[in-house]
């Protein structure tokens, strides 16, 4: 087995403190995390080596064994027993651990344990929280006027959402635990969903209030009358006062947009009248307007 220098893997010196090891491990683990390096086999291998290195060097007893026995530190006791047996058989040969190279240890354990000297792939290193995922969901203004349900597919996993009425354009919600898997027992990341709301309606939205411009003919504006106006979910009848001017605003209380996560609460709807003058007047109509003009003057 090839010898792997765990100090080199973490980019630290053999004299590094426990704090140095912890900082180095966090830095390297973030750099080679699988979520940040998808489909990168080299990064995946590096990430495993980093965890192996931390498993050994972050524990004082394991580190001591590694410093003496290299990658075969897990079999230190077996190796000591084997050395004692060799000393018994040949007492004149010094069997000091310092006289063995890393390759000597590897060859010895290869022959005795069939390669079982390799470090496990697990490890009790510092746990890292999984990566957060971000997604964008496009909806229309009419769709978010009422509570709606959607199913998103994130990394092959279907996530069912209940979207409360009243969400705003650009609003972001968090779904806890639906992000990437944690590392070394760390918690899962979260899923952040941003809403992009298009507006295919004739209404303008400002927070929970809606605004709409409605055309008003000359005769209704001058004499008054009744006008039917469509809201987002119904129709309402408005009484137009005589001599209503263009640009006049009318507030319809509670006919605006639903308030987010406050069932039964709505903003207001503001109607602005836009006076539409008649066109293509007949000769008779022009005569009548001339008479009206003379009366007014």
Topology annotation, domain 133-198: HSP40/DNAj peptide-binding domain (2.60.260)
CB-based contacts of 222, cutoff 8 Å, min separation 6:
242, 243
Q: What is the mean pLDDT of the chain?
A: 81
Topology annotation, domain 6-113: Helix Hairpins (1.10.287)
Helix axes 60-69, 76-89, angle to 10 degrees: 40
Burial classification of residue 95, based on how many CB atoms lie within 10 Å of its CB (0-12 exposed, 13-18 middle, 19 or more buried): middle
Q: What share of the chain is helix, strand, coil (3-state, %, to 5)?
A: 35, 25, 40
CATH assignment, 204-279: 2.60.260.20
- CA count, 13 A, side-chain hemisphere, 144: 28
The pLDDT of residue 75 is: 65
The pLDDT of residue 184 is: 74
pLDDT tens-digit profile of 130-161?
Answer: 888 888 899 999 999 999 998 888 777 888 99
Overall pTM surpassing 0.85 (yes/no): no
List the chain domain ranges: 6-113, 133-198, 204-279
The mean per-residue pLDDT over the stretch 274-290 comes to: 91
Do the domains 204-279 and 6-113 match in fold?
Answer: no
Say if residue 74's pLDDT is above 80.
no
Say if residue 52's pLDDT is above 70.
yes
């Amino acid at each position: 087995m090839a010898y792997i220098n765990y100090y080199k893997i973490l980019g630290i010196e053999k004299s590094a403190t426990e704090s140095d090891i912890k900082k180095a491990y966090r830095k390297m683990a973030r750099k080679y995390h699988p979520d940040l390096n998808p489909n990168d086999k080299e990064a995946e291998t590096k990430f495993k080596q980093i965890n192996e290195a931390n498993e050994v060097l972050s524990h004082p007893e394991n580190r001591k064994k590694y410093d003496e026995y290299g990658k075969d530190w897990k079999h230190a006791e077996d190796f000591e027993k084997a050395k004692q047996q060799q000393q018994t058989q040949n007492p004149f040969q010094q069997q000091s651990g310092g006289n063995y190279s890393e390759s000597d240890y590897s060859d010895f354990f290869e022959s005795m344990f069939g390669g079982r000297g390799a470090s496990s792939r697990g490890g009790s290193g510092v746990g890292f929280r999984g990566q957060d995922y971000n997604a964008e969901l496009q909806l229309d203004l009419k769709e978010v006027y009422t509570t709606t349900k959607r199913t998103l597919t994130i990394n092959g996993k279907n996530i069912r959402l209940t979207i409360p009425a009243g969400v705003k354009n650009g609003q972001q919600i968090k779904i806890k635990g639906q992000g990437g898997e944690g590392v070394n027992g760390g918690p899962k990341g979260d899923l952040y969903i941003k809403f992009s709301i298009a507006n295919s309606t004739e209404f303008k939205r400002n927070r929970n209030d809606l605004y709409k411009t409605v055309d008003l003919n000359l005769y209704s504006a001058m004499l008054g009358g009744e006008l039917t106006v469509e809201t987002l979910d119904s129709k309402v009848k408005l009484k137009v006062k005589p001599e209503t001017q263009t640009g006049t605003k009318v507030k319809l209380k509670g006919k605006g947009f639903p308030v987010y996560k406050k069932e039964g609460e709505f903003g207001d709807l503001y109607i602005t009248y836009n006076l539409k003058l008649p066109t293509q007047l007949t000769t008779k109509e022009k005569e009548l307007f001339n008479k009206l003009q003379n009366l007014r003057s």
